[in-house]
Amino acid sequence: MSIHLVIIDALNLIRRVHSAQPDPTDIDRTIATTSRTLNRIINEAQPTHIIAVFDHHLQERGWRAEILPEYKQNRKPMPEPLLNGLDAIQDAWWKMGIDSLLSDGDEADDLVATLAMKVASHNQKVTIVSTDKGYCQLLSPTLQIRDYFQHRWLDEPFIDKEFGVKPSQLADYWGLTGVSSSQVPGVPGIGPKAAKEILNQFEDIEQAYSSDNLPTKYRTKLDEHIDSARRCKQIAALKTDIELGFNLQDIRFTGANE
């Protein structure tokens, strides 16, 4: 049978809905709004399988913080009313027929990436619902990313316009430029324009670093900060080999649960 798996980046969706609510303590309203949103997604996507993936709110910052201690060090904690309402949100979604997967030691991004690539690699359709451009490095003919709030696809033309590199080069791009929102430093003095120029000439950081043709203005920076570039690329890249502990049959969408 033909499969269409929809993966919801749960906290990405919930935080945006919650931040737009007039009363942040009104979790019932957040539940109602996210439920309406998910119903629209289901009606548009017509999934055969669906799951919502959550970062575990009690976990540390995961393996990335072991590589780069400042990673996401300054991120804001989840508002307490929302934190206390997560179980109720998951229950409401389960009643709609959407099960939840909670990360345990890995970030939700890596769980999403592992599941998405596992299904897409078998030439089955996958849609990740998220505004997170980090997922765009996974793009393939059978894997797409939907920014529900902007009503757009984060596809190859979008990546070309936004970054000027190929989806497969995005981890290298962020290895060079860094990601300020996550306290990932990249290479000092290399911004988006320079990263684009380097990656239009070379396939990746290692090829640029080992080439005699790398322009001198970039050679000095990479020679001095190659270790940082490598670490930041590793952090920007998504793991796709996590043990998931369930199979597709477990997340088949059959409509609302009783």
pLDDT in tens, 41-73: 999 999 999 999 998 665 556 889 899 999 988
**Three-state SS sequence of 8-25:** EEHHHHHHHHHHCCCCCC
CA-based end-to-end distance of the chain? 26
What is the chain's alpha carbon radius of gyration, rounded to the nearest angstrom?
Answer: 19
- Could you tell me the pTM of the whole model? 0.95
| Residue 234 host element (H or E) | helix 216-236
Question: Helical H runs in 20-167?
Answer: 27-45, 62-67, 80-95, 108-120, 156-162
What pLDDT, on the 0 to 100 scale, is given for residue 103?
A: 77
Spatial neighbors of 214 by CB under 8 A, at least 6 apart, are 198, 201, 202, 208, 222
The pairing of beta strand 4-9 with beta strand 125-129 = parallel
Report d(CA 142, CA 144) in Å as an integer: 7
Q: What is the pLDDT of residues 79-128, one digit of tens each?
A: 899 999 999 999 999 999 999 998 776 688 999 999 999 999 999 999 99
b/e map 122-141, b = 16+ CB within 10 Å? eebbbbbbbbebbbbbbbee
Per DSSP, the three-state class of 50 is strand
249 pLDDT above the threshold of 60: yes
13 φ, ψ (degrees, to nearest 5): -75, -45
Question: Measured between alpha carbons, how far is residue 221 from residues 67, 97, 193, 200 in Å?
Answer: 21, 51, 15, 18
Question: Measured between alpha carbons, how far is residue 177 from residues 111, 181, 183, 201 in Å?
Answer: 25, 12, 11, 16
Please name the amino acid found at residue 66.
E
| pLDDT average, residue stretch 164-179 | 98
What pLDDT, on the 0 to 100 scale, is given for residue 105?
A: 65
What pLDDT, on the 0 to 100 scale, is given for residue 78?
A: 87
What pLDDT, on the 0 to 100 scale, is given for residue 72?
A: 87
Structure tokens at 238: 């998504």
62 or 212, which is more confident = 212
Mean residue pLDDT of the chain comes to 94
| pLDDT average, residue stretch 207-225 | 96
Spatial neighbors of 92 by CB under 8 A, at least 6 apart, are 31, 34, 35
What pLDDT, on the 0 to 100 scale, is given for residue 226?
A: 98
133 pLDDT above the threshold of 90: yes
Most confident of 64-68, 103-107, 154-158, 253-257: 154-158
Spatial neighbors of 148 by CB under 8 A, at least 6 apart, are 13, 37, 41, 129, 131
